[in-house]
């Protein structure tokens, strides 16, 4: 790889870089969430069948995107942590997990609130919904395994193995609407023939997607920073005990 990963693996340098990014990411989140919500709730047209409930989509779809992206990102960091033994990679996977779990939960809840008026039921056991629920359980299992080891380096490896095994679920979620005949509608934004929805809806959706992404970056930086400081504190305590 052309980018030198080892350079960013240094926690001190990582903290310095994120300190520069953080205010921009936070400001971008506020700005995009403001614009995105305004467009989504007021400007974009009502659906001719769904009426105003279609606006749930602007909260639901980006959350679902993020839930899968965050899991993929965790799987990649976990693999980097396993292969090159970079402690920051493990910590970044750990820091991302609760955020991803929140996005998954948000997608599930908004989805079922949207399902009630549209499908007439809060929940159906079709492939897309079930695989999202599995993803939520995978996040919970990942967080649980971090808690159940005393030694953080062992916990990191165990969690990395688990997250890599669970990564098989991500393509299953993505293609579940194509492989099975589901109630959930098939992919309509990222298709081979380009987006299938009108720009008056697509633009606010993409703005919201970017806003969620920068929200993730903002929260992620806070959490990784806390993890790194936490680990430093632990080391300092250990050194103190040895003296």
Partner 1 sequence: MGSFFSLLKRDIQLAVRQGSAFTMTLSFFVIAVTLFPLGVGPELSILARISPGVLWVGALLACLLTLDRMFQADFEDGSLDQLMLGSMPLEIMVLAKISAHWLTSVFPLILITPILALSLNMPGEGIGAMILALLLGSPVLSLIGAIGAALTVGMRRGGVLLSLLVLPLYIPVLIFGVAAVEAAIAVLPVGPHLLLLSGLSLGALVLCPLAAAAGLRLAVD
Q: Which positions lie near partner 1, rule CB under 8 A? A: 130, 134, 137-138, 140-141, 144-145, 148, 154, 157-158, 161-162, 164-166, 172
Cα separation of 99 and 104, whole Å? Answer: 9
Say how far apart CA 166 and CA 151 lie, in whole Å.
23
Residue with Cβ nearer partner 1 (134 or 222) = 134
For residue 149, count CB atoms less than 10 angstroms from its CB and return exposed for 0-12, middle for 13-18, buried for 19 or more: middle
Cβ contacts of residue 105 below 8 Å, gap of 6+?
A: 136
Q: Is 136 left (phi over 0), alpha (psi -120 to 50) or beta?
A: alpha
Question: Would you say 56 or 129 has its CB closer to partner 1?
Answer: 129
* Smaller CB separation from partner 1, 184 or 210: 184
DSSP state of 181: -
Which residue lies nearer to partner 1 by CB, 20 or 168?
168
Evaluate the CA torsion angle 226, 228, 232, 235 in order and state its sign. Answer: positive
Q: How far is the CB of 173 from partner 1 (least distance, A)?
A: 12
Identity of the residue, 159 or 213, whose beta carbon is nearer to partner 1 in the bound complex: 159
Nearest alpha-carbon partner for 199 in 39, 26, 22? 39
Minimum gap (Å) between residue 159 Cβ and partner 1: 9
Q: How far is the CB of 157 from partner 1 (least distance, A)?
A: 5
**DSSP reduced 3-state for 121:** coil
Q: Concatenate the DSSP letters of all residues of 25-83 into one string.
A: HHHHHHHHHHHHHHIIIIISPPBTTTBGGGGGHHHHHHHHHHHHHHHHHHHHHHHHHHH
Q: In the bound complex, what is the minimum distance in angstroms from residue 236's beta carbon to partner 1? A: 26
Residue 141 CB, shortest distance to partner 1, in Å, is 5
Q: How far is the CB of 150 from partner 1 (least distance, A)?
A: 10
Per-residue burial over 88-98, b if 16 or more Cβ lie within 10 Å, else e, is: bbbbbbbbbbb
Q: 134 or 202, CB closer to partner 1?
A: 134
Taking the least distance from each CB to partner 1, the nearer of 75 and 138 is: 138
Q: How far is the CB of 72 from partner 1 (least distance, A)?
A: 17
């Amino acid at each position: 790889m052309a980018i030198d990963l080892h350079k960013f693996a240094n926690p001190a340098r990582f903290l310095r870089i994120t300190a520069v990014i953080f205010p921009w990411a936070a400001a971008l989140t506020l700005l995009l969430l403001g614009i995105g919500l305004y467009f989504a709730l007021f400007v974009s047209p009502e659906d001719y069948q769904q009426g105003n409930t279609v606006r749930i989509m602007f909260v639901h779809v980006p959350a679902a995107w993020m839930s899968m992206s965050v899991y993929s990102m965790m799987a990649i960091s976990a693999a980097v942590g396993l292969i090159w033994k970079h402690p920051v990679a493990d910590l970044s996977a750990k820091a991302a997990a609760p955020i991803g779990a929140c996005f998954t939960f948000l997608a599930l809840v908004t989805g079922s609130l949207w399902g009630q008026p549209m499908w007439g039921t809060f929940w159906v056991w079709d492939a897309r919904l079930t695989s999202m629920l599995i993803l939520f359980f995978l996040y919970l299992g990942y967080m649980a395994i971090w808690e159940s080891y005393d030694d953080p380096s062992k916990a990191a490896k165990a969690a990395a193995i688990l997250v890599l095994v669970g990564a098989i679920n991500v393509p299953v979620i993505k293609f579940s609407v194509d492989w099975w005949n589901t109630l959930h509608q098939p992919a309509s934004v990222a298709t081979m023939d380009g987006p299938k929805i009108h720009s008056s809806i697509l633009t606010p959706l993409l703005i919201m997607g970017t806003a969620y992404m920068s929200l993730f970056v903002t929260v992620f930086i806070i959490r990784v920073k806390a993890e790194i400081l936490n680990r430093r504190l632990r080391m300092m305590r250990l050194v103190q005990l040895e003296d």
